[in-house]
Structure 1
Protein backbone atom coordinates (compact mmCIF):
# COMPACT_ATOMS: atom_id res chain seq x y z
CA UNK A 1 0.00 0.00 0.00
CA UNK A 2 2.84 2.40 0.84
CA UNK A 3 4.52 1.64 -2.50
CA UNK A 4 1.23 2.30 -4.30
CA UNK A 5 0.95 5.69 -2.60
CA UNK A 6 4.53 6.50 -3.63
CA UNK A 7 3.72 5.53 -7.22
CA UNK A 8 0.68 7.82 -7.22
CA UNK A 9 2.70 10.72 -5.81
CA UNK A 10 5.42 10.25 -8.43
CA UNK A 11 2.69 9.96 -11.08
CA UNK A 12 1.25 13.29 -9.95
CA UNK A 13 4.65 14.94 -10.12
CA UNK A 14 4.28 15.03 -13.92
CA UNK A 15 2.00 17.99 -13.35
CA UNK A 16 5.23 19.85 -12.60
CA UNK A 17 6.06 19.77 -16.31
CA UNK A 18 2.83 21.62 -17.07
CA UNK A 19 3.52 24.04 -14.19
CA UNK A 20 7.04 24.63 -15.52
CA UNK A 21 5.72 25.56 -18.95
CA UNK A 22 2.95 27.82 -17.61
CA UNK A 23 5.26 29.56 -15.14
CA UNK A 24 7.93 30.09 -17.77
CA UNK A 25 5.32 31.51 -20.15
CA UNK A 26 3.91 33.78 -17.44
CA UNK A 27 7.36 35.08 -16.52
CA UNK A 28 8.34 35.33 -20.19
CA UNK A 29 11.44 33.18 -19.71
CA UNK A 30 11.66 32.13 -23.35
CA UNK A 31 10.30 28.61 -23.01
CA UNK A 32 8.23 28.64 -26.20
CA UNK A 33 5.91 25.79 -27.09
CA UNK A 34 8.48 24.57 -29.63
CA UNK A 35 11.25 24.59 -27.01
CA UNK A 36 8.98 22.79 -24.58
CA UNK A 37 8.51 20.15 -27.27
CA UNK A 38 12.29 19.78 -27.50
CA UNK A 39 12.55 19.47 -23.72
CA UNK A 40 9.83 16.81 -23.66
CA UNK A 41 11.53 14.92 -26.50
CA UNK A 42 14.83 14.90 -24.59
CA UNK A 43 13.06 13.63 -21.46
CA UNK A 44 11.25 10.91 -23.43
CA UNK A 45 14.41 9.76 -25.20
CA UNK A 46 16.22 9.71 -21.85
CA UNK A 47 13.43 7.62 -20.34
CA UNK A 48 13.52 5.16 -23.24
CA UNK A 49 17.31 4.89 -22.87
CA UNK A 50 16.97 4.21 -19.12
CA UNK A 51 14.43 1.48 -19.82
CA UNK A 52 16.68 -0.03 -22.49
CA UNK A 53 19.57 -0.15 -20.03
CA UNK A 54 17.35 -1.53 -17.24
CA UNK A 55 15.91 -4.29 -19.40
CA UNK A 56 18.96 -5.23 -21.48
CA UNK A 57 22.01 -4.38 -19.40
CA UNK A 58 20.63 -4.68 -15.90
CA UNK A 59 20.23 -1.36 -14.13
CA UNK A 60 19.14 -2.47 -10.66
CA UNK A 61 18.31 0.64 -8.66
CA UNK A 62 16.22 0.63 -5.47
CA UNK A 63 13.82 3.10 -7.06
CA UNK A 64 12.72 0.49 -9.59
CA UNK A 65 11.77 -1.89 -6.77
CA UNK A 66 9.66 0.80 -5.12
CA UNK A 67 8.05 2.43 -8.15
CA UNK A 68 7.52 -0.35 -10.68
CA UNK A 69 4.93 -3.06 -10.41
CA UNK A 70 5.80 -6.76 -10.45
CA UNK A 71 4.70 -7.26 -14.07
CA UNK A 72 6.94 -4.35 -15.16
CA UNK A 73 10.12 -6.04 -13.95
CA UNK A 74 10.83 -7.58 -17.35
CA UNK A 75 8.94 -5.26 -19.69
CA UNK A 76 8.82 -1.56 -20.60
CA UNK A 77 7.56 0.19 -17.46
CA UNK A 78 4.61 2.52 -17.12
CA UNK A 79 6.75 5.60 -16.50
CA UNK A 80 8.22 5.12 -19.98
CA UNK A 81 4.77 5.12 -21.59
CA UNK A 82 3.95 8.14 -19.42
CA UNK A 83 6.81 10.24 -20.81
CA UNK A 84 6.27 9.05 -24.38
CA UNK A 85 2.56 9.88 -24.37
CA UNK A 86 3.08 13.31 -22.81
CA UNK A 87 5.70 14.05 -25.45
CA UNK A 88 3.43 12.87 -28.27
CA UNK A 89 0.63 15.25 -27.28
CA UNK A 90 3.05 18.17 -26.91
CA UNK A 91 4.44 17.51 -30.38
CA UNK A 92 1.05 16.94 -32.05
CA UNK A 93 -1.29 19.43 -30.45
CA UNK A 94 -1.38 23.09 -29.40
CA UNK A 95 -0.94 23.88 -25.74
CA UNK A 96 -4.66 24.31 -24.98
CA UNK A 97 -5.14 20.63 -25.90
CA UNK A 98 -1.82 19.11 -24.81
CA UNK A 99 -1.52 20.65 -21.34
CA UNK A 100 -4.87 19.40 -20.01
CA UNK A 101 -4.25 16.02 -21.66
CA UNK A 102 -0.96 15.81 -19.72
CA UNK A 103 -2.71 16.78 -16.48
CA UNK A 104 -5.40 14.15 -17.02
CA UNK A 105 -2.62 11.56 -16.92
CA UNK A 106 -0.66 13.18 -14.08
CA UNK A 107 -3.62 14.00 -11.82
CA UNK A 108 -6.73 12.26 -13.14
CA UNK A 109 -5.21 8.78 -13.39
CA UNK A 110 -3.95 8.65 -9.76
CA UNK A 111 -7.29 9.96 -8.49
CA UNK A 112 -9.25 7.34 -10.44
CA UNK A 113 -6.80 4.72 -9.15
CA UNK A 114 -7.47 5.84 -5.58
CA UNK A 115 -11.21 5.16 -5.92
CA UNK A 116 -10.70 1.87 -7.77
CA UNK A 117 -11.04 -1.46 -6.01
CA UNK A 118 -8.03 -2.71 -8.05
CA UNK A 119 -9.84 -5.73 -9.45
CA UNK A 120 -8.86 -6.74 -12.95
CA UNK A 121 -11.79 -6.16 -15.29
CA UNK A 122 -12.22 -5.16 -18.90
CA UNK A 123 -14.23 -2.05 -18.00
CA UNK A 124 -13.73 -0.31 -14.67
CA UNK A 125 -16.61 0.34 -12.28
CA UNK A 126 -19.07 3.18 -12.79
CA UNK A 127 -17.60 4.99 -9.77
CA UNK A 128 -14.13 4.99 -11.34
CA UNK A 129 -15.43 6.05 -14.76
CA UNK A 130 -17.48 8.93 -13.33
CA UNK A 131 -14.58 10.05 -11.14
CA UNK A 132 -12.16 10.10 -14.07
CA UNK A 133 -14.64 11.95 -16.28
CA UNK A 134 -15.43 14.63 -13.68
CA UNK A 135 -11.78 15.18 -12.72
CA UNK A 136 -10.74 15.33 -16.39
CA UNK A 137 -13.51 17.81 -17.25
CA UNK A 138 -12.45 20.02 -14.33
CA UNK A 139 -8.85 19.86 -15.57
CA UNK A 140 -9.79 20.66 -19.17
CA UNK A 141 -12.21 23.52 -18.40
CA UNK A 142 -9.64 26.30 -17.77
CA UNK A 143 -7.85 25.48 -21.03
CA UNK A 144 -10.85 24.84 -23.30
CA UNK A 145 -13.57 26.94 -21.62
CA UNK A 146 -14.51 28.64 -24.90
CA UNK A 147 -15.52 25.27 -26.34
CA UNK A 148 -17.42 23.26 -23.69
CA UNK A 149 -17.89 20.37 -26.13
CA UNK A 150 -14.10 20.05 -26.41
CA UNK A 151 -13.90 19.91 -22.59
CA UNK A 152 -16.38 17.03 -22.59
CA UNK A 153 -14.66 15.31 -25.50
CA UNK A 154 -11.23 15.46 -23.83
CA UNK A 155 -12.71 14.14 -20.58
CA UNK A 156 -14.46 11.34 -22.47
CA UNK A 157 -11.21 10.37 -24.19
CA UNK A 158 -9.32 10.23 -20.90
CA UNK A 159 -12.14 8.24 -19.30
CA UNK A 160 -12.23 5.66 -22.10
CA UNK A 161 -8.44 5.31 -22.00
CA UNK A 162 -8.41 4.93 -18.22
CA UNK A 163 -11.52 2.79 -17.91
CA UNK A 164 -11.48 0.35 -20.83
CA UNK A 165 -8.67 -2.17 -21.01
CA UNK A 166 -7.28 -2.65 -24.53
CA UNK A 167 -5.55 -5.97 -25.17
CA UNK A 168 -3.66 -6.87 -28.34
CA UNK A 169 -2.80 -10.54 -28.16
CA UNK A 170 -1.12 -11.01 -24.79
CA UNK A 171 -0.14 -7.34 -24.58
CA UNK A 172 -2.30 -5.01 -22.47
CA UNK A 173 -1.98 -1.41 -23.65
CA UNK A 174 -0.90 0.75 -20.71
CA UNK A 175 -3.26 3.64 -19.96
CA UNK A 176 -0.22 5.81 -19.31
CA UNK A 177 0.21 5.71 -23.08
CA UNK A 178 -3.43 6.20 -24.05
CA UNK A 179 -4.90 8.75 -21.61
CA UNK A 180 -3.25 11.91 -23.04
CA UNK A 181 -3.50 10.68 -26.63
CA UNK A 182 -7.22 9.80 -26.50
CA UNK A 183 -8.00 13.06 -24.68
CA UNK A 184 -5.97 15.11 -27.14
CA UNK A 185 -7.39 13.45 -30.24
CA UNK A 186 -11.03 13.83 -29.18
CA UNK A 187 -10.55 17.47 -28.14
CA UNK A 188 -8.78 18.18 -31.45
CA UNK A 189 -11.58 16.54 -33.47
CA UNK A 190 -14.17 18.74 -31.76
CA UNK A 191 -12.12 21.91 -32.23
CA UNK A 192 -11.42 21.14 -35.88
CA UNK A 193 -14.66 19.62 -37.12
CA UNK A 194 -17.57 20.51 -34.84
CA UNK A 195 -19.14 23.89 -35.59
CA UNK A 196 -19.31 26.20 -32.58
Structure 2
Protein backbone atom coordinates (compact mmCIF):
# COMPACT_ATOMS: atom_id res chain seq x y z
CA UNK A 1 0.00 0.00 0.00
CA UNK A 2 1.54 3.37 -1.02
CA UNK A 3 2.45 5.78 1.74
CA UNK A 4 0.46 9.03 2.03
CA UNK A 5 2.27 11.90 0.31
CA UNK A 6 3.40 13.59 3.53
CA UNK A 7 4.79 10.34 4.95
CA UNK A 8 6.52 9.50 1.67
CA UNK A 9 8.24 12.91 1.55
CA UNK A 10 9.34 12.54 5.17
CA UNK A 11 10.78 9.08 4.49
CA UNK A 12 12.61 10.24 1.37
CA UNK A 13 14.03 13.28 3.17
CA UNK A 14 15.29 11.00 5.95
CA UNK A 15 16.99 8.78 3.38
CA UNK A 16 18.58 11.81 1.71
CA UNK A 17 19.91 13.07 5.02
CA UNK A 18 21.23 9.63 5.93
CA UNK A 19 23.15 9.46 2.65
CA UNK A 20 24.32 13.03 3.28
CA UNK A 21 25.64 12.18 6.73
CA UNK A 22 27.55 9.17 5.40
CA UNK A 23 30.12 11.61 3.99
CA UNK A 24 31.26 12.16 7.56
CA UNK A 25 33.17 8.89 7.24
CA UNK A 26 35.59 10.19 4.60
CA UNK A 27 38.08 11.80 7.03
CA UNK A 28 37.77 9.07 9.67
CA UNK A 29 40.56 6.79 8.35
CA UNK A 30 42.89 9.80 8.42
CA UNK A 31 41.89 10.68 11.98
CA UNK A 32 42.50 7.07 13.02
CA UNK A 33 45.92 7.10 11.42
CA UNK A 34 45.03 4.56 8.73
CA UNK A 35 45.52 6.91 5.77
CA UNK A 36 47.53 10.04 5.09
CA UNK A 37 45.70 13.22 4.21
CA UNK A 38 47.06 13.01 0.67
CA UNK A 39 45.47 9.57 0.31
CA UNK A 40 42.21 10.89 1.78
CA UNK A 41 42.16 13.73 -0.72
CA UNK A 42 42.90 11.29 -3.56
CA UNK A 43 39.89 9.15 -2.58
CA UNK A 44 37.65 12.22 -2.54
CA UNK A 45 39.01 13.35 -5.90
CA UNK A 46 38.30 9.89 -7.33
CA UNK A 47 34.77 10.30 -6.04
CA UNK A 48 34.42 13.43 -8.17
CA UNK A 49 35.24 11.40 -11.27
CA UNK A 50 32.64 8.80 -10.28
CA UNK A 51 29.85 11.30 -9.68
CA UNK A 52 30.82 13.13 -12.85
CA UNK A 53 30.23 9.93 -14.80
CA UNK A 54 26.95 9.28 -13.00
CA UNK A 55 25.70 12.80 -13.72
CA UNK A 56 26.74 12.48 -17.37
CA UNK A 57 24.73 9.27 -17.63
CA UNK A 58 21.74 10.89 -15.90
CA UNK A 59 21.68 14.26 -17.67
CA UNK A 60 23.12 13.47 -21.10
CA UNK A 61 22.49 9.78 -21.75
CA UNK A 62 19.17 9.78 -19.91
CA UNK A 63 19.84 6.93 -17.52
CA UNK A 64 17.03 6.80 -14.99
CA UNK A 65 16.57 4.45 -12.08
CA UNK A 66 14.97 4.28 -8.65
CA UNK A 67 17.94 5.73 -6.74
CA UNK A 68 17.97 8.89 -8.88
CA UNK A 69 14.20 9.27 -8.71
CA UNK A 70 14.19 8.83 -4.94
CA UNK A 71 17.24 10.83 -3.92
CA UNK A 72 17.20 13.80 -6.30
CA UNK A 73 14.83 16.72 -5.88
CA UNK A 74 12.56 18.12 -8.57
CA UNK A 75 14.71 21.20 -9.22
CA UNK A 76 17.70 18.89 -9.78
CA UNK A 77 16.02 16.94 -12.56
CA UNK A 78 17.74 18.88 -15.35
CA UNK A 79 20.81 20.19 -13.50
CA UNK A 80 23.73 18.81 -11.54
CA UNK A 81 22.40 17.16 -8.39
CA UNK A 82 23.31 18.13 -4.86
CA UNK A 83 25.22 14.92 -4.14
CA UNK A 84 27.63 15.71 -6.99
CA UNK A 85 28.15 19.27 -5.72
CA UNK A 86 28.74 17.80 -2.26
CA UNK A 87 31.48 15.56 -3.64
CA UNK A 88 33.09 18.39 -5.60
CA UNK A 89 33.19 20.80 -2.67
CA UNK A 90 34.50 18.31 -0.14
CA UNK A 91 37.17 17.10 -2.56
CA UNK A 92 38.21 20.69 -3.29
CA UNK A 93 38.64 21.45 0.42
CA UNK A 94 40.53 18.19 0.95
CA UNK A 95 42.90 18.84 -1.96
CA UNK A 96 43.46 22.40 -0.74
CA UNK A 97 44.77 20.96 2.53
CA UNK A 98 47.26 18.55 0.93
CA UNK A 99 50.78 19.49 2.09
CA UNK A 100 52.99 21.12 -0.55
CA UNK A 101 50.13 20.96 -3.06
CA UNK A 102 47.18 22.88 -1.72
CA UNK A 103 46.54 26.38 -0.41
CA UNK A 104 49.23 27.81 1.91
CA UNK A 105 48.05 27.67 5.51
CA UNK A 106 45.24 25.24 4.75
CA UNK A 107 45.54 22.05 6.80
CA UNK A 108 43.41 19.01 7.68
CA UNK A 109 42.71 20.74 11.00
CA UNK A 110 40.56 23.17 9.02
CA UNK A 111 39.45 20.82 6.25
CA UNK A 112 37.90 18.11 8.43
CA UNK A 113 35.43 20.36 10.29
CA UNK A 114 34.62 22.17 7.03
CA UNK A 115 33.69 18.82 5.47
CA UNK A 116 31.71 17.77 8.53
CA UNK A 117 29.78 21.03 8.53
CA UNK A 118 28.11 19.99 5.28
CA UNK A 119 27.84 16.28 6.09
CA UNK A 120 26.36 16.74 9.59
CA UNK A 121 25.32 20.37 9.98
CA UNK A 122 23.30 20.58 6.79
CA UNK A 123 21.10 17.52 7.55
CA UNK A 124 20.43 18.81 11.07
CA UNK A 125 19.39 22.26 9.87
CA UNK A 126 17.35 20.70 7.09
CA UNK A 127 15.46 18.53 9.55
CA UNK A 128 14.61 21.57 11.68
CA UNK A 129 13.50 23.77 8.78
CA UNK A 130 10.06 23.66 7.18
CA UNK A 131 11.00 25.59 4.06
CA UNK A 132 10.48 24.45 0.50
CA UNK A 133 13.56 22.98 -1.19
CA UNK A 134 14.09 26.15 -3.23
CA UNK A 135 13.50 28.63 -0.40
CA UNK A 136 15.90 30.16 2.10
CA UNK A 137 15.90 28.32 5.42
CA UNK A 138 14.08 29.59 8.50
CA UNK A 139 15.94 31.31 11.40
CA UNK A 140 15.88 28.18 13.58
CA UNK A 141 17.75 26.30 10.85
CA UNK A 142 20.37 29.07 10.56
CA UNK A 143 20.92 28.97 14.33
CA UNK A 144 21.12 25.17 14.40
CA UNK A 145 23.62 25.13 11.55
CA UNK A 146 25.77 27.72 13.31
CA UNK A 147 25.77 25.83 16.62
CA UNK A 148 26.48 22.44 15.04
CA UNK A 149 29.25 23.91 12.88
CA UNK A 150 30.82 25.62 15.88
CA UNK A 151 30.67 22.41 17.91
CA UNK A 152 32.34 20.49 15.08
CA UNK A 153 35.14 23.02 14.66
CA UNK A 154 36.11 23.66 18.29
CA UNK A 155 37.63 20.20 18.97
CA UNK A 156 40.03 20.84 16.09
CA UNK A 157 40.78 24.54 16.35
CA UNK A 158 41.22 24.94 20.12
CA UNK A 159 43.92 22.24 20.48
CA UNK A 160 45.66 23.54 17.37
CA UNK A 161 45.59 27.29 18.07
CA UNK A 162 44.79 27.73 21.76
CA UNK A 163 41.58 28.72 23.47
CA UNK A 164 41.34 32.34 22.33
CA UNK A 165 42.41 32.05 18.71
CA UNK A 166 40.88 28.60 18.42
CA UNK A 167 37.41 29.85 19.34
CA UNK A 168 37.77 32.79 16.95
CA UNK A 169 38.81 30.44 14.13
CA UNK A 170 35.86 28.14 14.84
CA UNK A 171 33.49 31.12 14.78
CA UNK A 172 35.03 32.27 11.50
CA UNK A 173 34.08 28.92 10.01
CA UNK A 174 30.66 28.50 11.61
CA UNK A 175 29.29 31.87 10.54
CA UNK A 176 29.90 31.53 6.77
CA UNK A 177 28.78 27.89 6.94
CA UNK A 178 25.45 28.99 8.43
CA UNK A 179 25.06 31.73 5.82
CA UNK A 180 25.86 29.36 2.97
CA UNK A 181 23.45 26.79 4.37
CA UNK A 182 20.62 29.27 4.83
CA UNK A 183 20.56 30.70 1.32
CA UNK A 184 18.17 29.20 -1.24
CA UNK A 185 19.79 26.67 -3.61
CA UNK A 186 18.62 28.56 -6.71
CA UNK A 187 18.84 32.35 -6.98
CA UNK A 188 17.62 33.79 -10.29
CA UNK A 189 18.43 30.58 -12.08
CA UNK A 190 22.01 30.38 -10.76
CA UNK A 191 22.89 27.28 -8.75
CA UNK A 192 24.22 28.17 -5.30
CA UNK A 193 23.44 24.81 -3.70
CA UNK A 194 24.70 24.70 -0.14
CA UNK A 195 26.36 21.37 -0.82
CA UNK A 196 28.72 23.30 -3.07
CA UNK A 197 29.23 26.37 -0.91
CA UNK A 198 29.35 25.25 2.74
CA UNK A 199 32.78 23.52 2.82
CA UNK A 200 34.73 26.21 0.93
CA UNK A 201 32.96 29.01 2.81
CA UNK A 202 33.77 27.42 6.17
CA UNK A 203 37.33 26.50 5.26
CA UNK A 204 37.95 29.93 3.75
CA UNK A 205 36.64 31.69 6.84
CA UNK A 206 38.82 29.64 9.15
CA UNK A 207 41.88 30.06 6.96
CA UNK A 208 41.36 33.83 6.92
CA UNK A 209 41.07 33.88 10.72
CA UNK A 210 44.23 31.79 11.12
CA UNK A 211 46.10 34.10 8.73
CA UNK A 212 45.00 37.23 10.55
CA UNK A 213 45.19 35.98 14.15
CA UNK A 214 47.83 33.30 13.92
Q: TM-score, normalised by structure 1?
A: 0.91
Q: Deviations over 1:16-57 (max 9, x none)?
A: 11223222x1xxx3x211121111111111111111111111
How well do the aligned residues superpose, as a CA RMSD in angstroms? 1.7
Moved more, 44-53 or 160-169: 160-169
In the TM superposition, 1:78-117 aligns within 5 A as 78-93=82-97, 94-117=107-130
Match of 1:47? 51
Are 2:33 and 1:33 equivalent residues in the alignment? no
Task: Tell me, yes or no, if the aligned pair for 1:78 and 1:176 is still in contact at 8 Å.
Answer: yes
Q: TM-score, normalised by structure 2?
A: 0.83
CA distance in 2, matches of 1:53, 1:160: 32
Decide which of 104, 109, 118 is 2:131's aligned counterpart. Answer: 118
SS at 2:59's partner residue? Answer: helix
SS at 2:26's partner residue? Answer: helix
Decide which of 153, 174, 184 is 2:172's aligned counterpart. Answer: 153
Moved more, 72-81 or 124-133: 124-133
Q: Deviations over 1:49-76 (max 9, x none)?
A: 1111111112212111111111112111
In the TM superposition, 1:1-196 aligns within 5 A as 1-23=10-32, 25=33, 29=34, 31-93=35-97, 94-119=107-132, 123-145=136-158, 146=162, 147-165=166-184, 169-195=188-214
Task: Tell me, yes or no, if the aligned pair for 1:165 and 1:172 is still in contact at 8 Å.
Answer: no
> Gapped runs of 5+ residues in structure 2?
1-9, 98-106
Task: Tell me, yes or no, if the aligned pair for 2:85 and 2:195 is still in contact at 8 Å.
Answer: yes
> Gapped runs of 5+ residues in structure 1?
none
CA distance in 1, matches of 2:135, 2:213: 31
CA apart distance, 1:166: 6.8
SS at 1:13's partner residue? Answer: helix
